[in-house]
Amino acid sequence: MCFETKITEASIESIQELYAIEVMPESINIQKTKKEFTGDFTLPVFPFVKLSRKSPEQTADEIGKALKEKLDFIESYTIIKGFLNLSVSHRTWIDFLQKEIQNLAFGNIETNSDGPPVLIEFSSPNTNKPLHLGHIRNNLLGDAIARIMDANKKKVIRLNLVNDRGIHICKSMLAWQKFGANETPQTTGMKGDKLVGKYYVEFDKQYKAEIAELINQGKSKEDAEKQAPILLEAQQMLRRWEEGDKDVRKLWANMNQWVYDGFEQTYNNLGITFDRVYYESETYLLGKEIVKEGLAKKAFYQHPDGSIRVDLTEEGLDEKILLRSDGTSVYITQDLGTAVLRAKEYQPQQMIYVVGNEQNYHFDVLKRILSDKLSYDWGKRIYHLSYGMVELPSGKMKSREGTVVDADDLMEEMIGMAKQKTEELGKHDFNEVELNELARMIGIGALKYFILKVDPKKNMLFNPEESIDLNGNTAPFIQYTHARICSLLRKAGVNTLELPNYNIDVIPEAEKEILRMLYDYPVTLKQAASELNPSLLANYAYELVKTYNRFYQDTPVLKEMNDDLRHFRLQLSAFTASVIRKAMNLLGIDLPEKM
Domain contains 116: no
What is the mean predicted confidence (pLDDT) over 408-437?
87
Give, rounded to a whole angstrom, the gap between the first and last alpha carbons of the chain: 35
Number of neighbours of residue 132 by Cβ within 10 angstroms: 21
Residue 594 domain-assigned (yes or no):
no
My answer on whether 246 and 169 are in the same domain is yes
Residue that is last in its domain, among 88, 109, 137: 88
- Residue 138: give the domain boundaries: 122-391
> Which range (113-117, 400-404, 523-527) has the least confidence?
400-404
Tally of domains in the chain: 3
State how far the Cα of 462 lies from the Cα of 413, in Å rounded to an integer.
13
d(CA 469, CA 477): 7
Q: Are residues 80 and 150 in the same domain?
A: no
pLDDT tens digits, residue range 468-505?
Answer: 998 899 999 999 999 999 999 999 998 888 888 888 88
* Cα–Cα distance, 35 to 30 (Å, whole number): 15
Which of 391, 422, 454 is the last residue in one of the domains? 391
Residue 105: inside a domain: no
Would you say residue 430 lies in a domain? yes
The C-alpha atoms of residue 255 and residue 165 are separated, in whole angstroms, by 11
Taking residues 165-169, what's their average pLDDT? 92
- Tell me the per-residue pLDDT of 366-381, one tens digit each, with 9 for 90 and over: 999 999 999 999 999 9
Q: How confident is the model at residue 393 (pLDDT cuts 50, 70, 90)?
A: confident
At residue 120, φ and ψ (nearest 5 deg) are -120, 110
CATH label of the domain that carries residue 42: 3.30.1360.70
Domain shared by 304 and 365, yes or no: yes
Q: Are residues 229 and 333 in the same domain?
A: yes
* Per-residue pLDDT tens digits for 25-70: 989 999 999 989 999 999 999 999 999 999 999 999 999 999 999 9
Dihedrals phi, psi of 29, to nearest 5 degrees: -110, 85
Are 385 and 440 found together in one domain? no
> Does any domain span residue 407?
no
Q: Which of 88, 113, 137 is the last residue of a domain?
A: 88
Q: Give pTM, 2 decimals.
A: 0.91
Entry field: residues in the chain:
595
CATH of the domain at 581: 1.10.730.10
The residues that bridge with 392 in the sheet, in sequence order, are 395
How confident is the model over 218-240, as pLDDT tens digits? 999 999 999 999 999 999 999 99
How far is residue 257 from each of residues 195, 245, 281, 309, 426, measured CA to CA in Å?
A: 12, 18, 14, 34, 44
Same domain assignment for residues 127 and 160? yes
Torsion of CA 516, 521, 524, 526, to 10 degrees: -130
Would you say residue 102 lies in a domain? no
Q: 565-584: b or e for each residue (b if 16 or more CB lie within 10 Å)?
A: bbbbbbbbbbbbbbbbbbbb
Q: Is 17 domain-assigned? A: yes
Residues 221 and 310 in one domain: yes
Say how far apart CA 107 and CA 21 lie, in whole Å.
36
What was the pLDDT predicted at 1? 58
The predicted pLDDT at position 396 comes to 46
Residues 224 and 187 in one domain: yes
300 plus 433 within the same structural domain:
no
**What is the 8-class DSSP label of residue 370?**
I
User: Which CATH number does the domain housing residue 210 bear?
Assistant: 3.40.50.620
Q: In what order do the strands lie in the sheet with 350-356?
A: 276-279, 156-162, 118-121, 350-356, 382-387
Give the Cα separation of 63 and 80 in Å (integer). 14
Looking at the structure, tell me whether residues 374 and 508 fall in a common domain.
no
Residue 569 within any structural domain of the chain = yes
Q: Give the torsion through C-alpha atoms of 335, 339, 340, 345, to 10 deg.
A: 140
Please state, rounded to an integer, the average pLDDT across all residues of the chain: 93
60 and 180 co-located in one domain: no
Looking at the structure, do residues 83 and 129 belong to the same domain, yes or no? Answer: no
